[in-house]
Amino acid sequence: MPRIRVKVDEDLCIGAASCVTIAPDTFQMNAENKAYVLDHGTEPEGSKYERWMEVTDDEMENILLGAQSCPTLAIFIFDEAGTQLFPDM
């Protein structure tokens, strides 16, 4: 399974929560109304805005859809080599 890094830029996040609606196993809102990153529904300790995870193709698609739904493009996805997969450079 591909390993990816998912990151929310908390300065860009405006709390629109569309990522949470689309990909709730990966994104949740915290008390500051910012999205943070889960690993397959598992709550990290504290609020983590960045996380490595292994994903299936379906999960990758779901996370990409969540990222694409963000009105401020606050969600970044990188592959294992560090190449930014989204937003497209």
Which residues contact ligand SF4 by CB under 6 A? 8, 13-19, 27, 35, 69-70, 72, 74-75
CB 23 within 8 A of CB 66: yes
- Nearest approach, Cβ of 2 to ligand SF4 (angstroms)? 22
* Beta-bridge partners for 78: 5, 84
The nearer residue to ligand SF4, 1 or 22, going by C-beta atoms, is 22
- Nearest approach, Cβ of 22 to ligand SF4 (angstroms)? 8
The nearer residue to ligand SF4, 32 or 54, going by C-beta atoms, is 32
The nearer residue to ligand SF4, 12 or 60, going by C-beta atoms, is 12
- Nearest approach, Cβ of 72 to ligand SF4 (angstroms)? 5
